[in-house]
Each structure stands twice: as structure tokens, then as C-alpha cells.
Chain A
Amino acid sequence: MTSSVVTTAQDPPPPAAQTTSSPQKVPALALVAPSVIALLLWMIVPLAMAIWFAFQRYNLLLPDNRAFTGIANFTYILTDPALWVSIGITLVLVASVLVITIGLGTLLAVLFNQEFPGRGIARVLAISPFFVMPTVSALIWKNMLMHPVNGLLAQMTRGLGLGAVDWFADFPLISIIIIVSWEWLPFALLILLTAIQSLDTDQIEAARMDGAKPLALFRFVVLPHLSRAIAVVAMIETIFFLTIFAEIFVTTGGGPGLATTNLAYYIYLKALLEFDVGGASAGGLIAVVLANIVALFLVRSVAKNLDT
């Protein structure tokens, strides 16, 4: 008899669970819906429009001459050598700024974690470039630092009798890399410094007892501790570095030639200098694909890092 009671007591739950959960599910969905719809519109509408335009022959100079062209835009753009140059420059730009900001950022984080007089002020100064907007910092670099006549760097090298370097003419991509690194180093430093501060001092002391000298301490204790933060920095920075625009627009304008034209700038050239909406949209879709490929690699490596 007791067993029958138990079975009847056990049987009802599934339908009971359904009946109790279904009146909860509907309002939950309804409550979530507005934000989901907003997000979908926010994402889907531009994407759909880009896809739509990518298959149109649509030049703003000849707006009447608009028609469906199939994949003509894509074949045209994919066979454009400038596109492949710009993709290469995008990847070089992303990779080198990542290496510089994370490498220097890690070392500076270790440095700024040490006790020294005036550390608070030094930290604020080190972080502050991040607060300057990209256009302004690019202009400062262009006109006050790297300018071959008025620039501080030129004056310094001239003072040493070495002559001046015309940065944007002779080393355009390196100049852009330097400017973007200067802007983003504080971000890496900030994240990595907070990560380093969360390192247990007992662990460092235990390693010291085990015989770790400063370099080994960095290699075996500090760096593994930072791996997670480094992965996060790399991911966030990549998102922004794939679309660097203002710095290029203000300084080199993508030149000389195509020396500093990244994918974002290439699309800008297509859309707003050639007024080729169809071609620019096709380029935009290629940029989406590229971003997804990079994201795939990144997410994988980050996920691996977060697991351990």
C-alpha cells in the first residue's frame, strides 16, 4: 500500500511540472521579447540591408541605374588586388598592436605593481592616453610629434645631427601602429595591473622559498596568473583593431598608395569616395566574414585559457 502511494506520488510531477511551468514560460517570453526584438532589429536590419545592397548595382552618382546584378559586386571586389592588400594590412595592424600592447602592458603592469614614490600619479599618467579620443591623439601625433618639420621627434633627431624622419611618408604603417599602440597600451595595462594585484602574495613567497628568482617568478607564477586577463584583453582589443579608422583617416588617409588602407578604410573609400554602395556592401560582408574567422580563433584560444 505504501508503494502504491509512492508511485502515485511520483507519477503526477511531470504533468504538474508542465502545468506549473507553462503559465510561467509565456510571461517570461513576453517580458524578454521587447529587448530581443530590439536587438534583432539593431543587428538584422543593417545586415539585411548590407546583403541586399551587395547584390545590387547601385552607385550614388547614377542612382537611377540601379538593378539586381547577382554576384557581380563580389567578383569585382574579390578580384580587386586592393582588397587583398587591405586585408593583409588589417591583419598586420591587428597582430602587431596586440603584441605591442600586451607585451609592454604586461611588463608595465609588473612595474606599476612595485612600490615606488609617486606611484598613484604615475599610474594615472600611464592610463590617461586611453581617455583621449582617437582623432585628437592621431592629430597630436601627426602635427606635434611625428611632423618632419615641427614634430618633437624630428627636432630631437635633428638636435643629434641625425636629420629628420618623415614618418607618414617613409614608415606609414609603422606610424599607425605606434599611434594605435599608444592609445591602447593603457587599456592593456589597466586590465593586467588589476589582474596582477589579485595574485596571492603567499604564492610568490612560496615560489621564493622554492628557489624562484625574479625571472622564474615572472615566468612560472605571474604570467600563468595573467593568462586569463591577457586572453580577455586580446579579445576586446581585436574587436576594436579590426575596425581602426579615425587614426588612418586623420593621418595618412590610407596612403601613400595603399600602404595604410585597412579593410574598414577600403570600404570607406568604396562607399564614400567612389559612391559605389553595392561594392562597399560586398566589402562589408567580406569584413564580417573576416571578423568571424578571427573571432573563431580567438574564442577558441580564450575558451582554452578560461578552462584551465
Chain B
Amino acid sequence: MSTVTLKNIRKTYTDTEVIKGIDLDIDDREFVVFVGPSGCGKSTLMRMIAGLEDITSGELLIDGQHMNNVPPDKRGLAMVFQTYALYPHMTVAENMAFSLRLAGVPKAQRYERAKEVGRVLQLEPLLDRKPGALSGGQRQRVAIGRALVRKPKVFLFDEPLSNLDAALRGQMRLELASLHESLQATMIYVTHDQIEAMTLADKIVVLQGGVIEQIGAPMELYNHPRNKFVAGFRGSPKMNFLPVAIAGVGASGITVKLPGGGTVVVPVRPANVQLGDRITLGVRPEHIRIDAENPTIMGEVLVIEHLGDATSLYVKVAGGDTMIVQAEGNRQVSVRDRIPMRIDGNLCHLFDANDITLPKAS
């Protein structure tokens, strides 16, 4: 069992508060990913859990035990750093077994344990090399190995894949997923990478400005973002936002008037909005179709990005807003074409004046 509980955790540097009260429960064997824009406090939060930063106020519990003032090595955690932070003058085996050496474990036993972990991570032939003689992916594996040796309750990963090239990143992502599967350990992972968050996480924590915007499973965040920030942050390309006016409130949902005159019925409950209010409509690029028969909005193509499997169109619509539309890969369009688009109300989100998502009509 290894659970982590954060209760109203705060962090203040002299007079700026960077973590503004975080409450979070991490269950045993859960893979939790912290995401958010740069400077949102996700790394600071992880470092506070690790014990590398002091906790200004609030309570950190690991397995139900108060950990605020416990030194990093006594918390039962292991951390993998973005820069790997290997000790350059030690061999791979020495690097991995360094914590055991400090704990006073005899040399033979240390080497045995390092070898064991090296086998799991396919590092066996490299055990006597120095980190300088390894490739980026191998160093990454050694850094993970160093964490594994300690048999920690919780693994912490601080953007571990961001220093690798794209192909290797995909491979290491798979390895991390299978490692989590085989170890059945609790893992906390910080990243700004959409794909890593979506593919690895059991639970994603979206942070912004030191507060949690939303916690949820990847698909839950994708389908039911709590507010405009989460909606815009999840998914790639980003969700489109259009200013709309409420043209009708009915049993089946809210009818909104798009710039350019078209209307869309979105099946949501009119929580705190009324006829005539100006609100925001959000629709993902992959949910807009080019449809000449019954278009809801027209637009002029500004830029075309051919991605092979799909084509991203940057389209300027009435009112001057630019929308991104994801069309099929072989769609024949050219710049300055006027294209008709259909927005399906069932796949849209509406955000009120405070950017909070209007609840779906069930």
C-alpha cells in the first residue's frame, strides 16, 4: 500500500505564493500526471512531495503518515530527474547502488541488486560503464534504475522524457507504461506533453497558477472539461472558442447564434445564463466537418498544414476569429477558399461569462 495525500498544501517564496492550496488524494498503484503550462507550479508541487522544497503550510501524508518535516530519503520515494542527474564519476552499477552504499549495504550485495535491476532495464552489458559513455535513452534507463533499486513506495518523474528525441520518447513512454504495469507502484509524473499525459495517466491533475483546475481520468478531461482553461489545454490542436449569443433556451438545450448568423443547439442546461447573454462556444478541431449541404458557418482558409493522416486548416470566420479544422488527409482545398463547415451541437461545450462549463443536459 502506498498512498499520497495532500491537504491544503501551500508554498510561499518570500511574498509570492506559488502553490495556493492543493488538495489531492493519490491512491495505491495509481499513475497520476501533473500537467499545466510553464510556471503553473507542477514541478514545485512534486519537489514538495519529494522533500526537496519546504512545505509552507498544509499537510502531506504518505501512507497516512505525516511527512512534512521528514527528510527526502526517509519518505520512501524515488525521483527521476529531467536531466537524469547521474553521478558522472561512478559506473552505472555504482550509480544505481549509491543509495545502498550510503545505507551501509555490503559491496557484493549492492552489486547483486544493481545487476538485478540492470536485468529488468536491459542495462546488464553496461553496468561497468560511466554515464558519459551512454546514449540519452540508456542514461534515462539508469536514472530509472537508480529509483528502482530503492524499492520506493512512490516513484516521482520530473519531465523524464523531455530531453529525448521524438522516436526514443515514444519508446520510453511505452516502457514506462509497462514498468508501471509490472511494478504495480504508485507513480507521480510531471509533464507538459499532451500525449504522455493522455497515454500514461490513470488520473490527470491540471494545474494553473498554483491551483488545481480539474482532476480526472484522461477521457473525462477530454469529454467533460470543467472550464475553458482545461478545455483549451487538453487536446491537440487546441479547442476552438467562438463568441456566441444565446438565441433560445429550450428543453433540448440552448440555441446559440454563431458569428455569421448560423445557429447550433447545444444540449446543456442553462445553469446561470439567459436569453441574449454573450457566452463562449468551444468545439474541437476534429469535431468540425466540412459540409456543403447544411453548413452552420462559413470561413476562409488562411493556412493549410498537411499532416498526412489529417489536414489542419486555419480558417477565418465572420467576426474575425480564426478556427482550426481537422479535415481528412487527402482533402483538396487551397488557400483563400471559402469553405462551408458544420458544427455538431452534441460535441460542443458552452462556457459562461466566468469560463465555467455549462452542465450537459442528461
Stretch at the interface among A53-61, A84-92, A202-210, A247-255: A202-210
Within 8 Å CB of A7, what residues of B?
none
Contact A208 B89 (CB under 8 A): no
**A216 near B: Cβ within 8 Å?**
yes
| B-side contacts of A220, CB under 8 Å | 87, 98, 102
Smallest beta-carbon distance A280→chain B, Å: 46
Task: Tell me how far the C-beta of B159 lies from the nearest C-beta in chain A, rounded to whole angstroms.
Answer: 12
Rounded to whole Å, the gap between the CB of B74 and the closest CB of chain A is 8
Chain A contacts of B130 at CB under 8 A? 308
Contacts of A216 in B (CB 8 A): 102
Asked if residues A202 and B83 are in contact (CB atoms below 8 Å), the reply is: yes
Q: Which residues of A contact B85 (CB under 8 A)?
A: 200, 202-203, 205-206
Contact B81–A210 (Cβ < 8 Å): no
A70 close to B (CB within 8 Å): no
Q: What 1/0 flags go to A179-212 for Cβ under 8 Å of B?
A: 0000000000000000000001011011111111
Interface assignment of B78: CB less than 8 Å from any CB of chain A: yes
Contact B78 A207 (CB under 8 A): no
CB distance A202 to B87 under 8 Å? no
CB of B72 within 8 A of chain A?
Answer: yes
Does chain B have a CB within 8 A of A224?
Answer: yes
Asked if A221 is an interface residue, CB under 8 A from chain B, the answer is yes
Q: Is the CB of A208 within 8 A of B72?
A: yes
User: Which residues of A sit under 8 angstroms from B72, Cβ to Cβ?
Assistant: 208-209
Q: Give min CB distance, A225 to chain B, whole Å.
A: 8
Q: Does B77 sit within 8 A of A, measured CB to CB? A: yes
With a cutoff of 8 Å between Cβ atoms, the chain B residues found around residue A208 in the complex are: 52, 71-73
Question: Given that A220-B98, A308-B130 are known contacts, is A209 also in contact with B73, CB under 8 Å in the complex?
Answer: yes
Instruction: Show the binding face of B for A, using Cβ within 8 Å.
Output: 50-52, 71-74, 77-79, 81-89, 98-99, 102-103, 130, 146, 150
Kindly identify which residue among A200, A211, A221, A308 contacts B73, using a CB–CB cutoff of 8 Å.
A211
Chain B residues closer than 8 Å to A206, beta-carbon distance: 79, 81, 85-87, 146
> Considering the chains assembled together, what is the distance between the CA atoms of A206 and B82 in angstroms?
11
Q: How far is the CA of A80 from the CA of B115 in the complex (A)?
A: 62
Q: Which residues of B contact A210 (CB under 8 A)?
A: 73, 98-99, 102, 146, 150
Residue of B nearest to A211 (CB): B73
Q: Cβ of A224 and Cβ of B89 under 8 Å apart?
A: yes
Interface residues in A213-245 by Cβ distance below 8 A to B read 216, 220-221, 224-225, 227
Q: Tell me if B99 and A211 are in contact (CB < 8 A).
A: yes
Residue of B nearest to A203 (CB): B85
CB B91 to nearest CB in A, in angstroms, measures 11
In angstroms, how far is the closest chain B Cβ from the Cβ of A215? 11
Please tell me if the beta carbons of A308 and B89 are within 8 angstroms of each other in the complex.
yes
Smallest distance from the beta carbon of A260 to chain B beta carbons, Å? 40
Rounded to whole angstroms, the CA-CA distance of A221 and B82 in the bound complex is: 19
On whether the beta carbons of A203 and B102 are closer than 8 Å, the reply is no
Beta-carbon contact of A205 and B52 below 8 Å: yes
Contacts of A203 in B (CB 8 A): 85-87
Give Cα distance in the complex from A207 to B89, angstroms: 13
**Which A residue's beta carbon lies closest to that of B77?**
A209
Is the CB–CB distance between B83 and A200 below 8 Å? Answer: yes
Can you name the residue of chain B whose Cβ is closest to the Cβ of A308? B89
Which of A208, A209, A220 gathers the greatest number of chain B CB atoms within 10 Å? Answer: A209
A205→B81 CA distance, assembly (Å): 9
CB <8 Å contact, A221 and B81: no
Residues of B within 8 Å of A200, CB to CB, are 83, 85
Cα of A207 to Cα of B73 in the assembled complex, Å = 9
Q: Is the CB of B87 within 8 A of A224?
A: yes
Pairwise interchain contact B79-A209, C-beta atoms closer than 8 A: yes
Smallest distance from the beta carbon of A195 to chain B beta carbons, Å?
13
Q: Which residues of A contact B77 (CB under 8 A)?
A: 209
In the bound complex, do residue A207 and residue B98 qualify as a contact, i.e. CB atoms below 8 Å apart? yes
Q: Given the complex, which residues of B lie within 8 Å of A308, measured CB to CB?
A: 89, 130
